[in-house]
């Protein structure tokens, strides 16, 4: 990890290679054809399907499951991909336990939902393994759209625009496309380089050019793009990380969890990735869980995840919290950091217990300390470097309708836009819907 001075407790190669391979193997192994048929047979194929309503991309879930049941996974994949072109990744990382599967009639009646996520993965994997792209680029329209950001929202927007025949150029600040999918998701959720493979597969539609290492505000301006393109879609994500606001936060080995996850995802050799003996992760979302679990899987001895409110208020689902606990992560609720202690590098983090009264968080005055040689901050991200002229609302780019900003010809979606969050599926929905609106505007 960059800018992380090593201490005696932070070392690489804590675990043997075979153990690392086991720890970072597929969290949910894929279904084979027989298993998929059995899982599909459990679906009631509800006419007014609550699972479809709960899906942010409105996939016709009963239809694609019936297509699997009747032995047509390729048709099922098209049903999925028409609504969610990154359906393969979403099948791996979507919190289905709080979306489609939570409202499944089987879940409500029996406590065991239809395995919608795994069935979606089965269908999309079949199509990708066949190197098949079920969509064709439309006849060229002569229109050129700039997409800033190659994450889920940007990729979904670009693909839909290419389907309509528009030329698209995606510009992204990172060395590789994929955004959240490539850099921000736990390695055990997306194994085998799937994120990169899915981007390559998506680009097979043609008409999309990707330019990496190009950063908005450094290499080009929004005004430049607006002058040279017919429309602009901003999907720049949230590059900034919120500070703890506590004394000692600037000590060595107090790091951003998103950087740790990105380093792990890009590491060619996990055994070469250093990790502490005593890890403290501060936060209660998916990023916190991913950082905590992966620290444990790399061989950290003690990993604690500390959240300032109660279990029910954590943005990470109960499933994810239980997953962390099952991997040996100690979760501490109702505690907030008040100081980071150490001589140069962190040695302890001091916390104060909290209570919530009338929705407001209050410290109790009672404190405790946790030993730490590494601390990962995961208390949310913020928008950095928003172009001038855009209205900011709640720390994000204000949008109306399908991603329209206050500037003519400029749309925005994904994490950076109001209403966005850090879910791949939400980003896909916003990128797709913005593309539809851009298409209508270009043809008006």
294/315 Cα distance (integer angstroms)? 18
**By percentage, how much of the chain surpasses pLDDT 90?**
94
Place of tokens 């209570």: 355
Q: Which one is predicted more confidently, 137 or 384?
A: 137
For the stretch 212-259, pLDDT in tens is: 999 999 999 999 999 999 999 999 999 899 999 999 999 999 999 999
**By percentage, how much of the chain surpasses pLDDT 70?**
98
How many C-beta neighbours within 10 Å does residue 163 have?
Answer: 18
DSSP string, 100-164: TTTT-HHHHHHS----HHHHHHHHHHHHHHTT-----PPPP-S-EEEEE--SHHHHHHHHHHHHT
CATH no. of 33-129: 1.10.1060.10
For the stretch 392-411, pLDDT in tens is: 999 999 999 999 999 999 99
Q: Which pLDDT score is estimated for 335?
A: 98
Q: Where are the domains of the chain?
A: 33-129, 144-239+383-443, 242-377
Mean pLDDT (whole number) for 150-170:
98
107: pLDDT strictly greater than 50: yes
Residue 336 contacts residue 361 (beta carbons within 8 Å): yes
For the stretch 313-338, pLDDT in tens is: 999 999 999 999 999 999 999 999 99
Q: Which pLDDT score is estimated for 6?
A: 54
Bridge partners of 141, per DSSP, are none
**CATH top class, domain 242-377:** alpha beta
DSSP string, 274-340: -B-SEEEEE-SSHHHHHHHHHHHHHT-SEEEEE-SS-GGG-SS-HHHHHHHHHTTPEEE-SEEEEEE
65/56 Cα distance (integer angstroms)? 18
203/159 Cα distance (integer angstroms)? 7
Q: Which one is predicted more confidently, 378 or 9?
A: 378
33-129 and 144-239+383-443 agree in CATH topology? no
DSSP 210: E
Per the structure block, which two tokens stand in for 5? 């001075």
Q: Which pLDDT score is estimated for 2?
A: 44
* Topology given in CATH for the domain delimited by 144-239+383-443: FAD/NAD(P)-binding domain (3.50.50)
| Mean per-residue pLDDT of the chain | 95
120: pLDDT strictly greater than 50: yes
Band (132; pLDDT cuts 50, 70, 90): confident
16: pLDDT strictly greater than 50: yes
Mean pLDDT (whole number) for 357-366:
94
- Report the 3 state secondary structure along the chain: CCCCCCCCCCECCCCCHHHHHHHCCCCCCCCCHHHHHHHHCCCCCCCCCHHHHHCCCCCCHHHHHHHHHCCCHHHHHHHHHHHCCCHHHHHHHCCHHHCCCCCCHHHHHHCCCCCHHHHHHHHHHHHHHCCCCCCCCCCCCCCEEEEECCCHHHHHHHHHHHHCCCEEEEEECCCCCCCHHHHCCCHHHCCCCHHHHHHHHHHHHCCEEEEECCCECCCECHHHHHHHCCEEEECCCCCEECCCCCCCCCCECEEEHHHHHHHHHHCCCHHHCCECCEEEEECCCHHHHHHHHHHHHHCCCEEEEECCCCHHHCCCCHHHHHHHHHCCCEEECCEEEEEEECCCECCEEEEEEEEEECCEEEEEEEEEEEECCEEEECCCEECCCCCCCCCEECCEECCECCCECCCCCEEECHHHECCCCCCHHHHHHHHHHHHHHHHHHHHC
Mean pLDDT (whole number) for 34-47:
96
112/291 Cα distance (integer angstroms)? 28
């Amino acid at each position: 990890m960059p800018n992380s001075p090593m201490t005696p407790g932070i070392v690489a190669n804590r675990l043997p290679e075979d153990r690392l391979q086991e720890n970072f193997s597929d969290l949910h192994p894929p279904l084979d054809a027989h298993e998929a048929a059995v899982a599909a047979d459990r679906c009631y194929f509800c006419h007014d399907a609550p699972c479809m309503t709960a899906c942010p991309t409105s996939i016709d879930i009963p239809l694609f499951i019936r297509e699997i049941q009747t032995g047509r996974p390729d048709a099922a994949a098209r049903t999925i991909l028409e609504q969610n072109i990154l359906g393969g990744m979403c099948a791996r990382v979507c919190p289905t336990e709080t979306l489609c599967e939570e409202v499944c009639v089987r879940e409500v009646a029996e406590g065991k939902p239809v395995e919608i996520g795994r069935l979606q993965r089965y269908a999309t994997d079949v199509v990708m393994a066949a190197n098949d792209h079920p969509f064709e680029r439309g006849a060229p329209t002569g229109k050129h759209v700039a997409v800033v950001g190659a994450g889920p929202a940007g990729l979904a927007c670009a693909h839909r625009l290419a389907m309509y025949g528009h030329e698209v150029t995606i510009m992204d600040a990172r060395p590789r496309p994929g955004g959240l999918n490539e850099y921000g998701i736990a390695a055990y959720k997306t194994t085998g380089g799937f994120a990169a493979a899915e981007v390559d597969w998506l680009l097979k539609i043609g008409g999309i050019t990707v330019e990496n290492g190009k950063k908005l505000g450094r290499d080009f301006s929004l005004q430049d793009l607006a002058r040279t393109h017919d429309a602009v879609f901003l999907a720049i994500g949230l590059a900034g990380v919120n500070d703890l606001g506590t004394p000692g936060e600037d000590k060595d080995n107090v790091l951003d969890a998103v950087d740790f996850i990105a380093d792990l995802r890009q590491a060619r050799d996990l055994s070469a990735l250093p990790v502490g003996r005593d890890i403290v992760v501060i936060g209660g979302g998916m990023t916190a869980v991913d950082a905590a679990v992966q620290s444990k899987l790399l061989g950290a001895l003690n990993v604690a995840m500390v959240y300032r409110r109660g279990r029910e208020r954590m943005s990470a689902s109960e499933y994810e919290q239980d997953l962390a606990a099952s991997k040996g992560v100690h979760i501490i609720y109702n505690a907030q950091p008040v100081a980071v202690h150490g001589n140069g590098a962190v040695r302890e983090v001091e916390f104060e217990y909290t209570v919530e009264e009338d929705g407001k968080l209050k410290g109790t005055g009672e404190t405790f300390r946790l030993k730490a040689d590494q601390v990962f901050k995961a208390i949310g991200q913020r928008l950095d470097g928003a172009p001038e002229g855009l209205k900011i609302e709640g720390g994000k780019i204000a949008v109306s309708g399908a991603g329209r900003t206050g500037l003519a010809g400029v749309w925005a979606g994904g994490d950076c836009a109001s209403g966005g969050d850090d879910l791949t599926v939400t980003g896909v929905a916003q990128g797709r819907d913005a593309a539809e609106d851009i298409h209508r505007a270009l043809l008006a």
